[in-house]
Amino acid sequence: MKKILTLATFLFSFISTAQFLQSRLLKVEQKNMEKFMSAVANKTKLYNSKEGQPRYITFQILTGPEAQNFVRMQYAPKVEDFDKIDKVGNAYWQKTTGALHQSVGNRIWYRNADASYMPEDMSRVNHRRILYYKIKPGMGTDFWRYRTRLVKALEAAEWPQRVSTLNCASGCDGNWVQVRYHHKNFTGEASDNSNFSKVVEKYNEMYGEDSYEDDSQKLQMSVIENMTRHHQRLPELSSPWN
């Protein structure tokens, strides 16, 4: 019982200091696409671009069944920041985009710092290759062994681009995780991945011969679902970089 309470206290402490993203899927018919994007850009410029205003990131989905639709994510340093309702900005959003889209779902994610990698000399890029995992109950140890060890290998190999890992805190059916690989574009993704063998070499040097293959296989066995999607950040429809 004491171990359970200690673990619960640790998790609460970690989540309370994490970075949060609240995401919605926005479905838009092709005939409304141009008008919708223009309206979102205007709303973001007016209500989400200045200090003290809510921060949003908008992605267009490139692959999968929801391709060409959008994901809009509100960023907050603390989960309690989502209690601050921007009534004026929300009213403007509803007036200008309400009839142009369908909002589906609402999920809250938090950044898992131990499984995320940020190089010191990092460039801001807009292309994302996202791996979605649903972890089997009781299989978290095998899953997180690979994801946290990989961060150390990425550091040792001086991987050039950011890798962000988000845990679902609310709104998900099951234990969902998304791992977001940042690239310049599809060409940049191919170029970055061509050097991934260096990461594998570092992984095996650090954790033992064949450890990369063993750990990655255990990760695959630890998940119920495993999907890959590509998104593209839309700068005009997103708050400026912090």
**Would you say residue 28 has pLDDT above 60?**
yes
Model pLDDT for residues 78-134, shown as the tens digit of each residue: 999 999 999 999 999 999 999 999 999 999 999 999 999 999 887 899 999 999 999
Output 168 or 6, whichever has higher pLDDT.
168
- Arithmetic mean of pLDDT over the chain: 93
In which element (H, E) is residue 231 found?
strand 223-233
Q: What is the pLDDT confidence band of residue 40, given thresholds at 50, 70 and 90?
A: very high
Could you tell me the CA-to-CA distances from 77 to 15, 18, 36, 54 in Å, in that order?
11, 7, 28, 11
Could you tell me the CA-to-CA distances from 177 to 81, 120, 174, 206, 223 in Å, in that order?
22, 25, 10, 25, 10
- Gyration radius of the chain over CA positions: 19
Distance CA 101, CA 7 (A): 42
For residues 196-212, average pLDDT:
98
Q: What is the pLDDT confidence band of residue 144, given thresholds at 50, 70 and 90?
A: very high
Query: What local confidence, expressed as pLDDT, does residue 127 receive?
Result: 98
Q: How many CA atoms lie within 13 A of 221 on its CB side?
A: 9
CB atoms within 10 A of CB 224: 13
Query: What local confidence, expressed as pLDDT, does residue 241 receive?
Result: 83
Burial class (CB in 10 A: 0-12, 13-18, 19+), 175: middle
